[in-house]
C-alpha cells in the first residue's frame, strides 16, 4: 500500500532502542556502536519501503535482530540480521557491507539473502533447491540458519497481513521444514512458537474451536492446578530440595497433535497442564524425582531420563508422568537452571562471542556433527529433491537410544533398524553388514530397535548394500549411503558391461578393439550429449545406446565390413546390477541363454525357450547372444516343485537329500492339494545344470516322491 504522511513520519522515528538495550547486556560498547551504524545503513537503504501491514520495512530487520539479541548472538550476526534484506531489495551491495562491517557480516548477509530469491516458488524442484542451499549455507556457518529462523519467526508473527492462500502455504512450509530444524538445533521455544503459529494459519477453524475449548476449561482446572502446585512445593521442601516450580498450559499445537495421534476428543485430553521444576544441580534433579514419586504414583513406562542420555540436540531433563488428584495425569519436567537455558535456546545459548581457541560445548559438537552429515548427504544425493527427502527423514523428533557392544550410546530416530545403526557407526560397517545381534541374539536386519537394545553388527569383507534395505531404513545417512553405493556400483558395472558389448560389436565388424584410438573417440564425442568415453560405455551397458551403432560411429565408413553374427558375450554369473538373471525362467550354467537389452537397466539373461521373451526374438536390436563361462564357481537359484506322499517326516527326508547333493535350500513352501499328497515348492542353489541333474536324481530315489518338476516361466 502507498505510504501515508503518518507512515512517513513513523519511518523517521523507528528506533533501535530495544535492540540496543538487549544487546548492551552482553556486548562491548564498540560492538554496540557498530550495530547502530548497521541500523543506520539499513534504515537509509529501506527508506520508503513498507510491509504489507503498512509499517516501515525497517521494522522487520530490526525485529529479527532483536530476536537474535535475545538469544545472545554475536555482533556480526546482529549486523547481518539488520542488513539481511538490503542486498536483495535495495541498491546496497555486498562490497559496501564488507568494506564497512567486514567480510564475516557480508558473507552472512549473502548466505541469507540468496535464499530468498526462490522463497515462494511452488515448483517442487525450485523449493527443494531453495532448502538445499539454505542447509548448505547453514552447514558452513550455523548463524545463517539462526538468522533465517528469526526471520521466519517474525514473518509468522506478522502473517495476518497476508492473504489466506499465502498464509497456508507459508504455514505448511514452516511446519514441514523450519520448526523441525529449530527442534533439531535445540531451539525449543522457537520450535514451539512456530508450531503454534503454523497450526493457527494452516487450520484457522480448528485453532479457534480449540482456543475456545481451552478458555472454557481453564476456570474448572485452575483450582486443581493450584492444589497440585502447593502439594509439589510442600513435598520438595520436606525433602530439603530448593526448587522453582511452575505450572504451564500445554501449547495448542501439542494438544491438537495428541488428539490427532491418539484419536481423542478434547475432553479426553486430561493432561493439558504440565509442571516444570528447576533445581540447582543434577543430584537435586534425582532427589526431586524421588520426592514426587512419593507424592503421586508414577505411570509405568512414562519415565524418561534425558540427563543420563541427552537428546541429539543437547536437551537434558527428567520426564515423568504421575497419577494426580481425581485421576488426572500430570506431566513433570525436572532440570537444572543451566539445562533449562539450553532447552529453551539450544545451540544459540552457546553462541556468545568467544575466542577461536574456546573449546566447543557438547551441544555445539553434536550440532557440528549433524551439519557435517548434511554436507555428506548433499554430495551423495542425486538432486535437490532427494536431498530434501533425506533431510525430512533426518528431522524426526522422536529418538531411541541403543548401545554398542562396548557400552557406548547411539541416538537414532524412532523406527531405526540395525542397518541404520551400522551406518551410524561407520559407512564401511553399513556397506559390509550381513547380519545383526540384538541383545546377544541373531535378529533380522529389518528389526525395529527399541530403547536400551545392545546391537552388534556382523560384517563380511565382500558384502554389499542390498537395495531392499531402502524399504525399511529410517535415517537419512543410511538412505543416502545406500543410494550412493548402488548408483556408483551400477555405473561401474554398466561401464564394464558396455565395454564388453562394444568389443563384441567391433569384432563382429572384423575390427580389433585395441585398434580404436583416442582420435576416433574424440571424433565420436564431438557434439554428443556424452562428454566422456565412460559415459558412452555406461549408456551402452544400460541399454540406452546400441553397441553396433556406437561401433559404426567409431569407424570410418570405408572400414566397415558386414558380418551376420556379432559373436557372444561371456556371462560369469558374478555380475551385479548391470547384468541380472530373469526370475521367470531362472537360468543356470548349461541352459541355452540369451540377453535382452533393457533401456536404462542393463542386460537381463533369459533361457532361450523362455516364453517371456518371444516378442523380442524377432527384433535383433533388442537382444544379444550370450554364453556361460566355464566353471564360474557361483551358486544359482532354481525353483523345483515336488509332489510327495503325505507322511510324517517327509519334509525332513527331502531336506536331507538336498543337503546330501551339496545344495542349499533358500526357501520352502508347502500346500496340500488333498489328504493323500502334499506339494512342496523349494528354491535351491546349484552350480550348474549337471549339479541340478544330480540333485533331482537324489530326490527321485526317495520312495515318497511321486513327481518332480523344475519350475520355469
**DSSP string across 610-675:** -GGGGGGTT-GGGEEEEEEPTT----EEEEEEEEEE--TTHHHHHHHHHHHTT-EEEEEEEE-SSS
Query: Which CATH number does the domain housing residue 197 bear?
Result: 1.10.3210.10
Contacts of residue 32, Cβ cutoff 8 Å, sequence gap at least 6: 20, 23, 24
Angle at 113 between CA 108 and CA 117, to 5 degrees: 155
The residue length of the chain stands at: 713
Active-site option among 36, 89, 534, 625 = 89
Distance of alpha carbon 682 from alpha carbon 448, whole angstroms: 29
- Per the structure, the count of domains in the chain is 4
The grid cell for 534 is: 565412460
- Mark whether 493 is an active-site residue: no
> What does the block give as the cell for 42?
539499513
For cell 566397415, the residue is 560
If asked whether residues 603 and 675 sit together in one domain, one would say: no
Residues 106 and 27 in one domain: yes
Q: Which of 311, 328, 348 is the last residue of a domain?
A: 348
Q: Are residues 516 and 579 in the same domain?
A: yes
Looking at residue 243, its pLDDT comes to 92
Three cell numbers written together for 83 = 542488513
- CA-nearest of 474, 283, 282 to 389 is 474
- Same domain membership, residue 570 and residue 493: yes
- For 237: left if phi > 0, alpha if psi spans -120 to 50, otherwise beta; the answer is alpha
- 213 and 337, same domain (yes or no): yes
**SS3 of 697, please?**
helix
Cβ-contact 401, 452 below 8 angstroms: yes
Rounded to 10 degrees, what is the CA torsion of 315, 321, 324, 327?
Answer: 140
Full-prediction pTM beyond 0.75? no
CB 402 within 8 A of CB 449: yes
Look at residue 432 and tell me if it is in a domain. no
> 338: Cβ–Cβ under 8 A, 6 or more apart, which residues?
none
Report d(CA 141, CA 154) in Å as an integer: 21
Enter the C-alpha cell of residue 279.
533445581
Q: Specify which residues 637 forms β-bridges with.
A: 685
Q: 89 catalytic, yes or no?
A: yes
Burial 351-361 (b: 16+ CB within 10 A, else e): beeeeeeeeee
Same domain (yes/no): 139, 30: yes
Q: Quote the CA–CA distance of 284 and 8 in Å, as a whole number.
A: 56
In a domain, 423, yes or no: no
DSSP readout, 139-186?
HH-THHHHHHHHHHHHHHHTGGGS-HHHHHHHHHHIIIIIHHHHHHTT
Structural domain ending residue among the three candidates 313, 348, 383: 348
Q: Report the distance separating Cα 435 and Cα 460, nearest Å.
A: 9
Q: Kindly state whether residue 409 falls inside one of the protein's structural domains.
A: no
State which of 153, 170, 204 marks the end of a domain: 204
**Number of neighbouring beta carbons within 10 Å of residue 322:** 22
Candidate list 36, 70, 88, 399, residue with the active-site label: 88
Q: Which domain holds residue 34?
A: 5-204
Same domain? For 156 and 214 the reply is no
- Same domain? For 175 and 239 the reply is no
| C-beta atoms surrounding 467 within 10 Å | 12
Q: Is residue 86 in some structural domain? A: yes
Q: Is residue 12 part of a domain?
A: yes
Cβ atoms within 10 Å of 88's Cβ, excluding its own: 16
Position 239 scores a pLDDT of 92
Beta bridge partners of 441: 438
Q: How many angstroms separate the CA atoms of 190 and 197, rounded?
A: 11
- Contact criterion met (CB below 8 Å) for 182 and 348: no
* Same domain, yes or no: 497 and 596: yes
Short-list 148, 140, 152, CA closest to 198:
152
- Determine the Cα–Cα distance for residues 587 and 599; give it in Å rounded to an integer: 21
152 C-beta neighbours (distance < 10 Å), count? 23
Position 567 in a domain: yes
What are the beta bridge partners of residue 419? Answer: none
pLDDT value at position 562? 43
- The answer on 95 and 173 residing in a single domain is yes
Q: Identify the pLDDT of residue 184.
A: 73
What is the sign of the dihedral through the CA atoms of 154, 158, 161 and 165?
A: positive
Cell reading at 242? 530448593
542 and 664 housed in the same domain: no
pLDDT in the model for residue 128: 59
What does the block give as the cell for 282?
Answer: 543434577
DSSP state of 296: S
Q: Provide the CATH number for the domain around residue 672.
A: 3.30.70.260
We report the CATH number of the domain holding residue 278 as 3.30.460.10
Whether 352 contacts 378, CB under 8 Å: no
User: Average pLDDT per run of 10 along the chain, which is 713 residues long?
Assistant: 37 74 89 92 89 88 91 89 86 87 87 52 54 62 83 91 88 83 78 90 88 72 78 92 84 78 68 82 93 90 84 81 78 90 64 44 59 58 55 57 81 86 90 89 88 87 83 84 79 81 81 84 78 82 72 66 52 62 85 76 79 73 74 80 88 89 86 79 89 91 91 77
Asked whether the beta carbons of 479 and 422 are under 8 A apart, the reply is no
Instruction: Answer whether residue 390 is part of any domain.
Output: no
Q: Which helix (H) or strand (E) holds 430?
A: helix 427-431
Same domain, 594 and 642: no
Amino acid at each position: 500500500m502507498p505510504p501515508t504522511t503518518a507512515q512517513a513520519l513513523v519511518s523517521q522515528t523507528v528506533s533501535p532502542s530495544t535492540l540496543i538495550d538487549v544487546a548492551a547486556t552482553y556486548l562491548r560498547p564498540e560492538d554496540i556502536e557498530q550495530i547502530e551504524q548497521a541500523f543506520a545503513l539499513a534504515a537509509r537503504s529501506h527508506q520508503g519501503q513498507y510491509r504489507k501491514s503498512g509499517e516501515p520495512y525497517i521494522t522487520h530487520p530490526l525485529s529479527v535482530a532483536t530476536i537474535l539479541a535475545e538469544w545472545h548472538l554475536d555482533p556480526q550476526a546482529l549486523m547481518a540480521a539488520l542488513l539481511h534484506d538490503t542486498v536483495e531489495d535495495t541498491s546496497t551491495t555486498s562490497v559496501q557491507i564488507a568494506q564497512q562491517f567486514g567480510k564475516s557480516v557480508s558473507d552472512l548477509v549473502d548466505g541469507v539473502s540468496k535464499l530468498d530469491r526462490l522463497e515462494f516458488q511452488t515448483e517442487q524442484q525450485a523449493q527443494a533447491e531453495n532448502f538445499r542451499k539454505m542447509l548448505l549455507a547453514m552447514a558452513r556457518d550455523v548463524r545463517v540458519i539462526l538468522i533465517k529462523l528469526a526471520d521466519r519467526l517474525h514473518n509468522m508473527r506478522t502473517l495476518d497481513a497476508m492473504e489466506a492462500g499465502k498464509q497456508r502455504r507459508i504455514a505448511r512450509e514452516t511446519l514441514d521444514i523450519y520448526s523441525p530444524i529449530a527442534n533439531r538445533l535445540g531451539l525449543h521455544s522457537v520450535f514451539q512458537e512456530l508450531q503454534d503459529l503454523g497450526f493457527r494459519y494452516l487450520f484457522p477453524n480448528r485453532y479457534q474451536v480449540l482456543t475456545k475449548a481451552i478458555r472454557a476449561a481453564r476456570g474448572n482446572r485452575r483450582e486443581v492446578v493450584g492444589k497440585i502446585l502447593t502439594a509439589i512445593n510442600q513435598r520438595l521442601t520436606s525433602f530439603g530440595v530448593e526448587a522453582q516450580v511452575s505450572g504451564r498450559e500445554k501449547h495448542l499445537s501439542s494438544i491438537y497433535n495428541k488428539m490427532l495421534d491418539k484419536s481423542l476428543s478434547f475432553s479426553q485430553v486430561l493432561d493439558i497442564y504440565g509442571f516444570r521444576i528447576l533445581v540447582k544441580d543434577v543430584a537435586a534433579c534425582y532427589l526431586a524425582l524421588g520426592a514426587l514419586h512419593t507424592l503421586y504414583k508414577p505411570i509405568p513406562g512414562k519415565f524418561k531420563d534425558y540427563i543420563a542420555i541427552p537428546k541429539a540436540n543437547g536437551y537434558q531433563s527428567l520426564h515423568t508422568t504421575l497419577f494426580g488428584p481425581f485421576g488426572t495425569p500430570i506431566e513433570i519436567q525436572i532440570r537444572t537452571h543451566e539445562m533449562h537455558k539450553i532447552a529453551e535456546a539450544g545451540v544459540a545459548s552457546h553462541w556468545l562471542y568467544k575466542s577461536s581457541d574456546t573449546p566447543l560445548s557438547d551441544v555445539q559438537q553434536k550440532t557440528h556433527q549433524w551439519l557435517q552429515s548434511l554436507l555428506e548427504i548433499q554430495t551423495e544425493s542425486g538432486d535437490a529433491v532427494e536431498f530434501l527427502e533425506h533431510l525430512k527423514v533426518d528431522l524426526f523428533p522422536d529418538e531411541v537410544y541403543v548401545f554398542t557392544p562396548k557400552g557406548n550410546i547411539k541416538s537414532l530416530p524412532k523406527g531405526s533398524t540395525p542397518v541404520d545403526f551400522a551406518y551410524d557407526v561407520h559407512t564401511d560397517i553399513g556397506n559390509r553388514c550381513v547380519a545383526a545381534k540384538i541383545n546377544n541374539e541373531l535378529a533380522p536386519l529389518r528389526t525395529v530397535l527399541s530403547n536400551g537394545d545392545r546391537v552388534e553388527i556382523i560384517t563380511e569383507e565382500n558384502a554389499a548394500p542390498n537395495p531392499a534395505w531402502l524399504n525399511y531404513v529410517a535415517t537419512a545417512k543410511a538412505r543416502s549411503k545406500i543410494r550412493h553405493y548402488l548408483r556408483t556400483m551400477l555405473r561401474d558395472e554398466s561401464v564394464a558391461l558396455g565395454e564388453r558389448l562394444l568389443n563384441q560389436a567391433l569384432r563382429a565388424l572384423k575390427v580389433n578393439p585395441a585398434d580404436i584410438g583416442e582420435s576416433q573417440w574424440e571424433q565420436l564425442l564431438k557434439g554428443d550429449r556424452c562428454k566422456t568415453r565412460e559415459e558412452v560405455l555406461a549408456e551402452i551397458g544400460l541399454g540406452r545406446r546400441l553397441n553396433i551403432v556406437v561401433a559404426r560411429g567409431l569407424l570410418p565408413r570405408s572400414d566397415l565390413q558386414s558380418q551376420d553374427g556379432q559373436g557372444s558375450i561371456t556371462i560369469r554369473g558374478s555380475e551385479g546390477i548391470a547384468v541380472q538373471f530373469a526370475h521367470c525362467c531362472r537360468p543356470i550354467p548349461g541352459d541355452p541363454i540369451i540377453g535382452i537389452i533393457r533401456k536404462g537397466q542393463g542386460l537381463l539373461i533369459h533361457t532361450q525357450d523362455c516364453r517371456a521373451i518371444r516378442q523380442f526374438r524377432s527384433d535383433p536390436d533388442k537382444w544379444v547372444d550370450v554364453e556361460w563361462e566355464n566353471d564360474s564357481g557361483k551358486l544359482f537359484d532354481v525353483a523345483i516343485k515336488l509332489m510327495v506322499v503325505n507322511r510324517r517326516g517327509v519334509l525332513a527326508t527331502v531336506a536331507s537329500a538336498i543337503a546330501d547333493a551339496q545344495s542349499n535350500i533358500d526357501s520352502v513352501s508347502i500346500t496340500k492339494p488333498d489328504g493323500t499328497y502334499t506339494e512342496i515348492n523349494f528354491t535351491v542353489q546349484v552350480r550348474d545344470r549337471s549339479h541340478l541333474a544330480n540333485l533331482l536324481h537324489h530326490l527321485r530315489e526317495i520312495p515318497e516322491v511321486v513327481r518332480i518338476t523344475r519350475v520355469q516361466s
